[in-house]
Amino acid sequence: MVRSDFTKDRQGGFTLLETLIAVAILAFGLLSVVTMVEVSYSAGALAKNTTKATELAGWMMDRILQDTSLATQPYTASITSIRSYDNDGTTAVKLITNSAVDPLNEPGRTALQQWRSLIQGTAIATYIGADQLRGDRLPGGLGEVIIVPYDASKGGNHSVMVQVTWSKGLIEHRVRLENVLATSE
């Protein structure tokens, strides 16, 4: 039996084109996996920073409630205690952690200084209720407190707003807590 030349030329295996297509599909798949890993890392970092910011805002709100509330009437604030957070001599209080002006009186000055060091991740000492907050720095972290005594929109009570912002690149994130303290006078 005689074999033709046609069958001799035909050998098993992949052609160059098939190999290039397979490599392209593999590269596309690997690129997708790398992208998913990056997205999940970013989402995890955002969740961690949001949790940290919420804890920091809650800590400061608790300090304000603790420092200004009357012992006999919880969630009722003394105007004298609220004024201890005043840093510019007006009745409205606006504190920012990157400001050079701290409140002149205790306990506002101590609370703001401790909060600033917690946000910046430089806290060394243990502050009341802040053990878990020490160490990690909130990237681009900034804290702000606004207290409006006798706020007409809150029925003449004191309104307290604590906000923590941070940035990752060009994107700014924020956590805001608000509370109302009854007036004692």
- Strand blocks (E) in the chain: 76-77, 93-96, 142-151, 157-168, 171-183
State phi, psi for 64 to the nearest 5 degrees.
Answer: -65, -45
Is the pLDDT confidence value at 38 over 80?
A: yes
Taking the C-alpha atoms of residue 2 and residue 169, their distance in angstroms, rounded to an integer, is 75
Helix or strand (DSSP H, E) at 7: helix 5-9
Alpha-carbon distance of 12 to 77, in angstroms, equals 87
Q: Helix, strand, or coil here: 147?
A: strand
Give the predicted TM-score (pTM) of the model.
Answer: 0.74
Mean pLDDT, the chain, rounded, equals 81
Find the mean pLDDT for residues 93-113: 80
| 3-state SS class at 135 | coil
Asked if 140 and 166 count as a contact pair (C-beta separation under 8 A), the reply is: yes
Model confidence at 154: pLDDT above 80: yes
Task: Determine the average pLDDT of the residues in 26-30.
Answer: 91
Contact 161, 181 (CB under 8 A): no
The answer to whether 179 and 65 are in contact (CB under 8 A) is yes
| Nearest C-alpha neighbor of 116 from the set 130, 105, 104 | 130
Cα–Cα distance measured from residue 183 to residue 78, given in angstroms and rounded to the nearest whole number:
7
Bridge partners (DSSP) listed for residue 142? 165
Q: For the residues of 55-71, what is the DSSP string, one character each?
A: HHHHHHHHHHHHHHB-S
Predicted pLDDT at 161: 93
Q: pLDDT tens digits for 61-75?
A: 988 888 887 767 777
